């Protein structure tokens, strides 16, 4: 049995809502952002919610309220001004980005509730591996001993969400020193691989991380992983149906 099929079975429940999960591999940020907006604008009232999982090429993204002074020294890494909430953050290889494309009006979820459940999904993922994750007042995301391991920035348009959650898995963290992450001076960042215990995989694959996070998100948001569709990591286009 493949890992994706095992993950699908692990979160299946008759009372849960369907969810389509798309594994997009490594993609440029702009391409996926464009596709998210197109999907959100075109989706029908009864269309199944989706969760997109992706690694991005190195990029700094600014939220709507992003202040340029929080970008200290970007070097050759491009900066993209986005329409999500929050300040500047970094995306790059070894970081798992999860985009929940949800109709929260249909689900009866408020934005604050969705943020709480996404945070809880990461906290539960960490707990399952013997790691204590925490929230911090006024600073959305998940922290380990005060260092940020996951960030959240959402956009809601006509009751439908895009953008989402990033979790540092096993990556080069140095680009975070080129910015004030999420607008906080001297905020420390960390990654999952640095906190796994003896005997655990100290270099988890992105497939492992995707399966862990999918399972946790589906449980926290009462979804059934109805279908998993993987895309070739080298494909020049997403080719979404």
CATH number assigned to the domain comprising residue 95? 3.30.930.10
pLDDT of amino acid 200: 61
User: Is there a domain that residue 97 lies in?
Assistant: yes
User: Is there a domain that residue 15 lies in?
Assistant: no
User: Is there a domain that residue 104 lies in?
Assistant: yes
pLDDT of amino acid 16: 73
Number of domains in the chain: 1
User: Is there a domain that residue 188 lies in?
Assistant: yes
pLDDT of amino acid 112: 94
pLDDT of amino acid 201: 61
User: Is there a domain that residue 240 lies in?
Assistant: no
pLDDT of amino acid 65: 84
Q: Rounded to an integer, what distance in angstroms lies between the CA atom of residue 179 and that of residue 199?
A: 34
Q: Rounded to an integer, what distance in angstroms lies between the CA atom of residue 92 and that of residue 36?
A: 18
Range of the domain at 226: 3-10+21-230
Q: Rounded to an integer, what distance in angstroms lies between the CA atom of residue 50 and that of residue 190?
A: 28
Which residues are tagged catalytic?
182
Q: What is the mean pLDDT of each run of 10 residues along the chain (241 residues)?
A: 37 63 92 93 92 95 89 93 92 97 94 96 96 93 97 94 96 94 90 82 83 93 66 40 39
pLDDT of amino acid 7: 39
User: Is there a domain that residue 238 lies in?
Assistant: no
User: Is there a domain that residue 237 lies in?
Assistant: no
User: Is there a domain that residue 236 lies in?
Assistant: no
């Amino acid at each position: 049995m493949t890992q994706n099929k095992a993950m699908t079975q692990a979160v299946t429940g008759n009372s849960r809502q369907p969810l389509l999960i798309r594994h997009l591999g490594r993609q440029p940020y702009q391409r996926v952002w464009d596709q998210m907006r197109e999907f959100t604008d075109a989706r029908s009232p009864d269309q199944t919610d989706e969760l997109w999982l992706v690694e991005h090429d190195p990029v700094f993204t600014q939220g709507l309220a992003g202040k340029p002074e929080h970008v200290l020294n970007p070097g050759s890494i491009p900066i993209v001004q986005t329409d999500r909430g929050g300040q500047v953050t970094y995306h790059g290889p070894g970081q798992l980005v999860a985009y929940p494309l949800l109709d929260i009006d249909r689900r009866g979820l408020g934005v604050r509730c969705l943020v709480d459940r996404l945070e809880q999904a990461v906290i539960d993922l960490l707990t399952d591996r013997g790691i204590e994750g925490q929230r911090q007042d006024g600073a959305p995301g998940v922290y380990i001993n005060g260092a940020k391991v996951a960030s959240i920035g959402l956009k809601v348009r006509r009751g439908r969400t895009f953008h989402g959650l990033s979790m540092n898995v096993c990556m080069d963290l140095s680009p975070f020193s080129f910015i004030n992450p999420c607008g906080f001076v001297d905020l420390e960042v960390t990654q999952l691989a640095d906190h796994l215990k003896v005997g655990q995989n100290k270099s988890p694959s992105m497939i492992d991380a995707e399966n862990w996070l999918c399972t946790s998100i589906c449980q926290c948001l009462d979804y059934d992983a109805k279908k998993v569709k993987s895309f070739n990591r080298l494909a020049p286009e997403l080719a979404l149906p």
